[in-house]
A and B are shown apart, each in its own frame.
Chain A
Amino acid sequence: MPGSFAVRAENLVKVYEGTVRALDGVTLSVEEGELRAIVGPNGAGKTTLMRILTTQIKPTSGDAWVLGRHVVREAGKVRSAIGYVPQEFSVWNDLTGYENLLVYAKLYGIPRDRRKRVIEEMLEFMELKEAANRLVRTYSGGMIRRLELAIALMVKPRVLFLDEPTIGLDPRARALVWSRVLEYRKEYGATVVFNTHYMDEAERYSEVVTMMNRGRIVAEGEPGDLAKAVGEGDLVSLSLEGDTAKALDALSRVPELVVVSAKNPVLVRVENAQRQLPYLMEALMGNGVRVKEVGIRRPTLEDVFVKLTGMTVEEAEALGFRGAAAMRRAIRRGG
């Protein structure tokens, strides 16, 4: 039943210009009030999914609902219930911050008697009061993002869609953007769906992660649970000198060890790195393998992606580069 979810998608397919398959059968449910991250490399289909959910484009096939309203047949009703911040900047940089809020407030149809109050409240909430009367052209990237969030939140949307909300921002600006999003969500119990290719951000800020690659969902779950899919324990990355074959041979004789990635740097999983590392090193050196660098860490979503797709996020992006470039062109041209 689509009605009981904040967002529901069934078998969404989107083909651009008859050739580029951006979405290849996506089915997804987001509960009301949930904080959902959609992660994956560039070209995975995250933006296309969000553009369908926000009624900008129609799916080639499949259905989707936001708060029980169909995104194609009831697009108008969906639009009145959502807030959206696209990946690219969506404010006029030759107007002031205040004017952007005013113009958007009028376009949203916020009544005159409430407009000023809503704008003041949002400027305060986003810490933009002092910059309100400056041209947006003079804003930093973080300020522009907060202005866009202010615009999206003026109407107190029940579902907020953010496409790469912190892309290109420095850590401080990222943290400020997130603190505002989380506070809004706490105050209004809103559902937040965000796209990101920063896996660490998904891990830190979301309750449920949907992982996409090449137009499909490859994994879904709580970040902690997903990381467990790689296995319990620690990951040890070994940066090796020369051929990895000898190293893999040596490692195969170490008990309770799983090779996660056989490419240099080799990634292995052990139950307890502190205890097992000495044996591991002994085995490698005994086989004449020179280790340049050792790293120990907990499994992350990146590792989940590697395990599920057999490649790193960077490799997926490089591999899909031609496809992704064609898709981006198609999206821009509107094919």
Chain B
Amino acid sequence: MSLARALTFVELELRRLRHDPTEVFTRAVQPILWIGVFGTVMARVRAIPTGGVDYLTFITPGVLMQSSSFIAMAYGIMLVWERESGILKKVLTLPLSRLTVVLGRSLAGAARALTQLLVILLVAVPLGAKLDLSPIALALAVLALLAGAAGLTALSILLATFMKTRERFMGILQAITMPLFFASNAIYPIEVMPAPLQAFSRVNPLTYVIQALREALVYSNPLACLQSIVDISLFSLAMIALATLLLGKIVE
């Protein structure tokens, strides 16, 4: 079965993480600063209208997605490296469809990104973020994060097919991830942005994932959250389809 084989890539990723969990912790430093320093200071300033939610609680889903998106977007580096080694050549000669490979790798990147949920909760809740931690809310958050991170990983794979060296890939990564973060609803509502930025943030996938995470963890609105997850999934499926079509290019 193809899905079982795709999930093998997730297993691969989890086994690698078990042998070397460094990334989970190094990636946690930035969000800790965002929540612990930026969040607590801005909460005192009370300069940003957050619709009745305290600021720390407001930015926690935003910072969670920022951290997860960085991990997902960096996943392509692995592919750049695997092309230089023989792994990608080998994988492409296995009896697997290109779709299975891309779907599997996308879910694998999402699994890595998902580790940030635990990290952020462990940081934000003790600092005073008031989050809905019911099983339903958490399940929805996991779903939203998985769907979003899988799409971003596919986007990263897509970039890897064009950026053939690690250096170039790192460069483009820097150029994409920070703007996506700042032009989203992560640390301020989009209503306070100037109009052009608002327009951009409405096509920014991060905005929708963060929206879904807020609906699950902050507003406790499962139905609205599910609707957002559907939107996110459409984006992710499109990315996976596109990456599948272009995967041949990475080795051709």
Q: Which residues of A contact B (CB under 8 A)?
A: 51, 54-58, 76, 79-80, 82, 84-92, 94-95, 99, 103-104, 106-109, 135, 148, 151, 332-335
Contacts and interface: CB of A to CB of B under 8 A. Distances in A.
B175 interface: no
B93 A82 contact: yes
A107 B83 contact: no
A92 B12 contact: yes
Given A94-B16, A94-B20, A57 B5 contact: no
Contacts, number: 85
Given A57-B252, A92-B87, A109 B95 contact: yes
A39 B78 CA distance: 32
A79 B5 contact: no
Contact of A107 (B8, B15, B250): B8
A109 B92 CA distance: 14
A88 to B, nearest CB: 4
Contacts of A76: 95, 97
Contact of B85 (A79, A89, A103, A151): A89
A90 B90 contact: yes
Contacts of B85: 88-90
B127 interface: no
B252 A335 contact: yes
Interface residues of B, number: 29
B202 interface: no
A335 B164 CA distance: 10
Contacts of A87: 86
Interface string B74-99: 00000000011111011111111100
Interface string B1-44: 00011001001100110011000000000000000000000000
Nearest to B2: A109
A117 B92 CA distance: 25
Nearest to B8: A106
A332 B164 contact: yes
A58 B251 CA distance: 10
Given A56-B251, A106-B11, A109-B95, A90 B5 contact: no
B96 to A, nearest CB: 6
Given A90-B89, A92-B87, A109-B5, 9 more contacts: A76-B97, A85-B86, A89-B85, A92-B12, A95-B16, A99-B15, A108-B94, A109-B95, A334-B164
A82 B250 CA distance: 22
A274 B250 CA distance: 58
Given A86-B90, A94-B16, A95-B15, A58 B252 contact: yes
B15 A334 contact: no
Contact of B84 (A58, A88, A91): A88
B16 A92 contact: yes
Interface string B88-129: 011111111100000000000000000000000000000000
B161 to A, nearest CB: 7
Contacts of A107: 5, 8, 91, 94, 96
B15 A108 contact: no
B87 A91 contact: yes
Contacts of B164: 332-334
A56 B11 CA distance: 24
Contact of B95 (A80, A106, A135): A80
Contacts of B11: 103, 106
Residue among A57, A76, A90, A135 with the most chain B CB within 10 A? A90
Contacts of A88: 84-86, 89
B95 to A, nearest CB: 4
Contacts of A109: 5, 95
A79 B97 CA distance: 10
A335 B251 CA distance: 8
A120 B94 CA distance: 21
B102 to A, nearest CB: 14
Contact of B94 (A79, A92, A99, A332): A79
B92 A55 contact: yes
11 contacts: A84-B89, A88-B86, A89-B85, A89-B87, A90-B85, A92-B16, A106-B5, A107-B91, A109-B5, A332-B83, A334-B251
Contacts of B8: 103, 106-107
A79 B98 CA distance: 12
Given A80-B95, A106-B5, A109-B5, A56 B161 contact: no
Nearest to A16: B252
Contacts of A332: 83-84, 164
Contact of A334 (B4, B20, B93, B161): B161
